[in-house]
Structure 1
Amino acid sequence: MAATWQNPEFELGGVNHLALVCSDMKRTVEFYTGVLGMRLVKTIDLPGDAGQHFFFDMGGGNLLAFFWFRDAPDAVPGVSTAATVPGIGEFTTAVGSMNHLAITVPEERFLEYRATLKGKGVRVGPIIDHDESELGFSTTLHDGVYVRSFYFQDPDGILLEFACWRRELARPGDVTHTPKTAADRVVKV
């Protein structure tokens, strides 16, 4: 959550939609409507039988879209998708990939939602209480935790996060790190 701020350059209204790629549109519809409760609001068949493009209502005026392409290559865990979820294993992905999608949930329902997903058979990672400590997280909830979250994956391995902000961002001390450059990367061969 960020403090109210006006962009002096463009009047941006947030994310219109995020478009991801799935391997099986039927299975994707079943997961996002049946497991996560999103509403399917628009379906499109692409010209020339090239694929499909479906849109789901995430709430709050936000949409999540999926493409199904007839000739899409398979995902490569650890490259195009995370190998697993934070707190369980490696979640680094390649430059240009989408690492994860964080979805805002109310803090008062955070634990309930985690239990509901587990009850539906979804493997969820541990709760991560993000704070300003050296590790960046705590094993206990305290006043310095600015966001609570847990991660899980959809049927194609897309990394999802349920997150609840605990305070406003952009306070003094929130922006203190020097951005790294391409020269700082260690590229594995």
Structure 2
Amino acid sequence: MTWRNPEFELGGVNHLALVSSDMRRTVDFYTQVLGMRLTKTIDFPGGSGQHFFFDMGGGNSLAFFWFRDAPDAVPGVSQPVTVPGIGEWTSAVGSMNHVAINVPEERFLEYRAKLKAKGVRVSPIIDHDDSPEGYATELHDGVFIRSFYFQDPDGILLEFACWRREMGTEGDVSHAPKTAADRIRVS
């Protein structure tokens, strides 16, 4: 039985909108490397910007803005510096840390190899489990999601992930949420 939201009939992500420094390069990466279909393009008046949409599958879209006057990204602030398993991946409050794209588990390793063959630098595979470290050194039945990370040409952190079981079962929600008072302020 699927859980039903009693407040709103939500149907997943309509689209996630990110900012590109070079829309042509973004289109090339998402269509040629990841195989997404470009579904809608918009030019803003006066050449001030563009808004392009890509089909991610499952009724979900990934969108990009290109703004003529957009400030440059600040790795380590507006986005992670690199990918988990390779280096620093923290980003600032209010930033978009990464986009996780669902892939079938039976094709997970194939897709990782395919990206590597296309020249994309990918992270080690991370098998997320409930151990104190949060990941396993070997695949086992307690691994609830497998993933690896990579970056697009603008450094946007992407993840291919596959669920290994249904979430929301007993023990899946067992941690008290941290508050702003728990943060270490970095200046």
Q: What is the TM-score with the length of structure 1 in the denominator? A: 0.98
Q: Which residue of 2 aligns with 1:150?
A: 148
Residue number among 63, 66, 83 corresponding to 1:65 in the alignment: 63
CA-to-partner distance for each residue in 1:153-181, whole Å, 9 max, x for gaps? 00000000000000000000000110000
Any stretches of 5+ residues in structure 1 without a counterpart? none
Q: Which residue of 2 aligns with 1:43?
A: 41
Runs of 4 or more off by more than 6 Å in structure 1?
none
1:13 pairs with 2:11: yes
Match of 1:182 in 2: 180
The 5 Å alignment of 1:107-186 reads: 107-186=105-184
How far residue 147 of structure 1 moved from its aligned partner, in angstroms, is: 0.2
Q: Is 2:80 the partner of 1:82?
A: yes
For structure 2, which runs of at least 5 residues remain unmatched after alignment?
A: none
State the alpha-carbon separation in 1 of the partners of residues 2 and 93 from structure 2: 31
For 1:126-148, what per-residue CA distance to the aligned partner results, in whole angstroms no more than 9, with x for missing partners? 00000000100011100000000
Aligned residues: 187
CA distance in 2 between counterparts of 1:153 and 1:187 reads 27
Root mean square deviation, CA, Å: 0.7
Give the Cα–Cα distance (whole angstroms) in 2 for the partners of residues 139 and 177 of structure 1.
Answer: 23
Identity %: 79
User: Which amino acid in 1 is paired with 2:53?
Assistant: F
Report SS of the residue matched to 1:110: helix
The residue aligned with 2:52 is 54
| Matching residue of 2:90 | 92
Question: Offset at 1:48?
Answer: 2.4
Distance in 2, matches of 1:9 and 1:58, equals 27
Higher relative contact order (CA 8 A, sep 6+): 1
For residues 177 and 54 of structure 1, what CA distance do their matches in structure 2 show?
38
Q: Compute the TM-score of the two structures, normalised by the length of structure 2.
A: 0.99
